[in-house]
Amino acid sequence: MLRSFALSLAALTVPLFAGAQPPANPNPLAATVNGETIALADVDALLKHTLPDTPLNATQQRRMRLEVLSDMIDDVLVRQFLRKNGPKVDPAEIDAQLKAFGEKLKMEGKTLADFYKKTGQTEAQVREAWITEMQLTGYVKSIVTKEQLRAYFNANKDYFDQVQVKVRQIVLRVNKNTPPAERTAAKERLETIRAAIAAGQLDFATAAKKYSQCPTASTGGELGYIFRKGGLADESVAKAAFALKMGELSGIVETEFGIHILQVTDRKAGTPSKFEDCVTEVLDAYSDDFRTELTAKLRKQAQIQITVP
């Protein structure tokens, strides 16, 4: 009897000693942010919506997963902050907004379901995003003064006047996961290219076609006309571009997409605006910048564990 039990136990334990692997986690995590988890499935769902028909190899998939995850981590950090510090939002207010939005879509021959599918979101995710936005705006309103908003308006007059500049760029691809030695080498290479352009030894467009690792390389680095804020250009690129005079070269500008050098080739004057006529727009833009600064601060304080395969 005892021998039979021992044999049965041995049979059960053999796979462990034979190198058998434990079953795969059916719900793998992409990251944990201050104890709050982000599922890999949610990252992949957003990535699939962003790049629905783009085949990716394993290296590309991981890189894109990390880029999508970075934004999701920022969202979690902001939500965590606002749960503690932001104003409460009445669910009935979100209900009313959804109803109004649904009626607007209906007039266009669409439905909320169409909107969720198009944006790759569920109703719960849309509600959560709207709550966060309302809480952020409410929090900013509680801490900012009219004088601060006016100063912000004056400092960003180009944006509120809708001034545009035409930009071209040269980009070398590095990111936060690039080894320090590779990042340093890329910067040195870009500085050498910049010096050659500044000395008149190399034409910017020719250099962009030859060296830039961006789709704009084929057109000589032409990024086209951009706005100071809210357009397709990265905020750091837009800020650097608007600080340039016509024909002037920027220093190295770092973004999540790589390292850039820029040149402005044209400028379109916008329509002069007054602070009193666009207070809501000023508050919205100020809130966006506040969120960027807040996430940078929260990241330094947070416990973030990334487990993307």
* CATH class as words, domain 18-161+280-309: mainly alpha
Cα–Cα–Cα angle for 70, 74, 80, rounded to 5 degrees: 145
Specify the length of the chain in residues.
Answer: 309
Contact of 168 with 265, CB cutoff 8 Å:
yes
Cα–Cα distances in angstroms (integers) from residue 54 to residues 44, 65, 70, 161, in the given order: 13, 13, 20, 38
Helix residue ranges per DSSP H, 161-202: 180-198
Contact of 222 with 216, CB cutoff 8 Å:
yes
Predicted confidence (pLDDT) per residue in 225-266, tens digit = 998 886 767 888 998 999 999 999 999 999 888 999 999 999
Domain with residues 162-268, CATH architecture: Roll (3.10)
pLDDT the model gives residue 9: 34
Domain regions of the chain by residue span? 18-161+280-309, 162-268
Contact of 145 with 291, CB cutoff 8 Å:
no
Q: One fold for both 18-161+280-309 and 162-268? A: no
Predicted confidence (pLDDT) per residue in 273-305, tens digit = 999 999 999 999 999 999 999 999 999 999 999
Rounded to 5 degrees, φ, ψ at 289 are -70, -35
SS3 262: strand
Q: What is the pTM of this model?
A: 0.72
